[in-house]
């Protein structure tokens, strides 16, 4: 790449910077409001609402979370565990399924592609899934309940990968390896995977975020607080607040229970705690995309 930028190139860079800064501002301002809300005095939130700069800073929400530190640390542990294991497993089975589908000479390609695609259109709903996982695989109240149902692999990611393989990996490369006497597994491991870092990083990111943010598995399959993930903890609180505020009966019966609900700033604080690690870790993760560029360059 030449270091001297042309005039057109300069204008282009200025324009994309302006647009990207606008996009970044749109993304960052609301998140800032969230963070500011979590350190605003509860009374100020109710009386004068959210602001960009809190009038009176209060760490009460975080103090409250500190009381619950044991729960939160444990739920972090659960979340990290399921994210790491789930993503790793997913990055094994997803490319293994996607790669043969990208091979034009693979006989069962169309049938299996359809089988994969079909799962994106139809689903049996939560009740049959629940019965399948709890009655046949008995995963209720185990950590596997947070890993296996739903999240491990989905048709979208398989198709995404398949597309990447068929577009970016020259058939000649595979043929050449075959001529050298390499078997299919060797080709997959030594030729395909090294060229697939960008897509592995992309799918890994999506799956990882899926695990990190998931709370439905915890909702349905886990009743022991020892197994609550962070998002599960947060969503239980948020959902109960909503349920109580909309249910006349629950309020009439349990007026006292209403007071147990964590305040707005605590709800904000928990979600800040939930996204913080991703904000911190993502830039490190990002280097795999950059590596992908390097690989592309070598290829050329």
Partner 1 sequence: MKLKKLAALAGAAALTVTALPVLPVYAEDAEEIVFAFHLTKTVDMQPIEDALNEITIPEIGVKVDLEGIQMANYANQVGMMMSGGEQVDVIAMLGDYADMLSKNQLLCLDDYIDEYGAGIKEVLGEEFLKATSKNGSLYALPNNNGKAAVLNIVLRDDLIQELELPVDQLTLASDFDGYCANLDLLSDMFAKIHEAHPEYACLVPSAGNSLLFDGTVPFMDMLNDNYGILSDDGSTVVNLYETEEYKKLISYAHEWNQAGYVLEDATTTQEAANTYLQNGRAAAFFIKGEEGQAEQIITATGIPVQSIKLLQPYICTTDVNGIDFGISATSKHPEAAMKFLNLMYTNADVVNLLDWGIEGVHYEVQDDGTVDFPEGLDANTTAYGLNQDWYFGNQFLSYIWGKGRDTTIYERLESNNKNSEFSPVMGFSYDSTVVATELAAIVNVRNQYVPGLECGSLDPETDLEAFNKALYDAGLQTVIDEKQAQLDAWKEANQ
Partner 2 sequence: MEKRSKSGTLKRQWPLYVMVLPGLLYLFINNYGPMAGMFIAFKRIDYSKGLWASPWVGFENFKYLFKTGAALEMTRNTILYNLVFIVLGEVTGIAAGIMLSELRRKWETKFFQTVILLPYLLSWVICAYIGYAFLSRETGLINGLLNSLGINEVDWYNDPGKWPFILTFVNIWKGLGYSAIVYMSSIIGIDHSLYESAMIDGATKWKQIRYITLPLLKPTVIMLIIMSIGRMFYSDFGLFYQIPMNSGTLYSTTQTIDTYVYRALMTRNDIAMSSAAGFYQSIVGFILVLTANYIVRKSSPENAMF
- Say which entry of partner 2, partner 1, none residue 168 contacts (CB below 5 to 8 A, set by partner kind): partner 2
* Smallest distance, partner 1 to C-beta of residue 256, A: 5
CA distance 134 to 144: 11
User: Alpha helices of 214-286 — where are they, by DSSP H?
Assistant: 216-221, 230-246, 248-253, 255-258, 264-285
Site string for partner 1, 176-205 (x = CB under 8 A): ------------------------------
> Does position 56 bind partner 1 by CB under 8 A?
no
In the complex, minimum distance from the CB of residue 102 to partner 2, in angstroms, rounded to a whole number: 11
Residue from 182, 219, 275, 278 in contact with partner 1 (CB under 8 A): 219
Question: Whose CA is closest to 237, among 6, 68, 24, 2?
Answer: 68
> CA-CA distance, 94 to 254, in Å (whole number)?
48
Q: Is 138 in the site for partner 2 (CB under 8 A)?
A: no
Q: Verify binding: residue 67, partner 1, rule CB under 8 A.
A: yes
Residue 183 exposed, middle or buried by CB count within 10 Å (0-12, 13-18, 19+) = exposed
> How crowded is residue 206: how many other Cβ atoms within 10 Å of its Cβ?
16
Q: Confirm if 158 and 120 have CB atoms less than 8 A apart.
A: no
Q: How far is the CB of 220 from partner 1 (least distance, A)?
A: 7
Tokens linked to 93? 């089975």
Residues 232-271 that bind partner 1 (CB under 8 A): 233, 236-237, 239-261, 263-264
Q: Which H or E run contains 9? A: helix 7-38
179 binds, among partner 1, partner 2, none (CB under 5 to 8 A by kind): none
Q: Residue 85, CB half-sphere, CA atoms under 13 Å: how many?
A: 12
Question: Which entry of partner 2, partner 1, none binds 271, CB below 5 to 8 A by partner kind?
Answer: partner 2
Determine the Cα–Cα distance for residues 62 and 38; give it in Å rounded to an integer: 8
Among 201, 227, 233, 273, binds partner 2 (CB under 8 A): 201
Angle at 269 between CA 263 and CA 273, to 5 degrees: 150
Q: Which does 86 bind (CB under 5 to 8 A by kind): partner 2, partner 1, none?
A: none
The nearer residue to partner 1, 20 or 88, going by C-beta atoms, is 88
Q: Does 176 bind partner 2 (CB under 8 A)?
A: no
Q: How far apart are CA 65 and CA 62, in angstroms?
A: 5
Q: Which does 22 bind (CB under 5 to 8 A by kind): partner 1, partner 2, none?
A: none
User: Can you give the binding site for partner 1, defined by CB under 8 A?
Assistant: 42-43, 45-47, 64, 67, 71, 77-78, 80-81, 84-85, 88, 126-127, 130-131, 134-135, 140, 142-143, 219-220, 223-228, 233, 236-237, 239-261, 263-264
């Amino acid at each position: 790449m030449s270091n001297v930028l042309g005039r057109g190139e300069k204008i282009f860079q200025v324009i994309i910077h302006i647009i990207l800064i606008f996009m970044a501002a749109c993304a960052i301002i609301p998140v800032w409001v969230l963070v500011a809300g979590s350190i605003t005095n509860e009374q100020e939130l109710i009386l004068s609402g959210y602001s960009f700069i809190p009038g009176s800073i209060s760490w009460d929400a975080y103090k409250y979370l500190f009381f619950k530190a044991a729960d939160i640390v444990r739920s972090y542990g659960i979340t990290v565990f399921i994210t790491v294991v789930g993503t790793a497993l997913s990055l094994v089975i997803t490319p293994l399924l996607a790669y043969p589908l990208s091979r034009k000479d693979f006989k069962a390609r169309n049938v299996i592609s359809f089988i994969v695609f079909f799962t994106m259109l139809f689903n049996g709903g939560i009740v049959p899934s629940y019965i399948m996982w709890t009655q046949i695989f008995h995963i209720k109240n185990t950590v596997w309940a947070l890993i296996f149902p739903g999240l491990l692999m989905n048709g979208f990611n398989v198709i995404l990968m398949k597309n990447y393989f068929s577009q970016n990996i020259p058939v000649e490369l595979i043929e050449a390896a075959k001529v050298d006497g390499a078997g299919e597994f060797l080709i997959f491991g030594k030729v395909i995977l090294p060229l697939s870092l960008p897509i592995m990083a992309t799918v890994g990111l999506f799956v990882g975020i899926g695990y990190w943010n998931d709370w439905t598995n915890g909702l349905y399959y886990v009743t022991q607080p020892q197994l609550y993930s962070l998002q599960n903890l947060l969503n239980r609180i948020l959902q109960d607040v909503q349920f109580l505020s909309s249910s006349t009966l629950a309020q009439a019966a349990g007026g006292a229970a209403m007071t147990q609900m964590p305040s707005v700033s605590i709800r904000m604080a928990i979600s800040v705690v939930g996204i913080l690690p991703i904000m911190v870790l993502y830039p490190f993760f990002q280097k795999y995309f950059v590596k992908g560029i390097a690989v592309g360059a070598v290829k050329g």
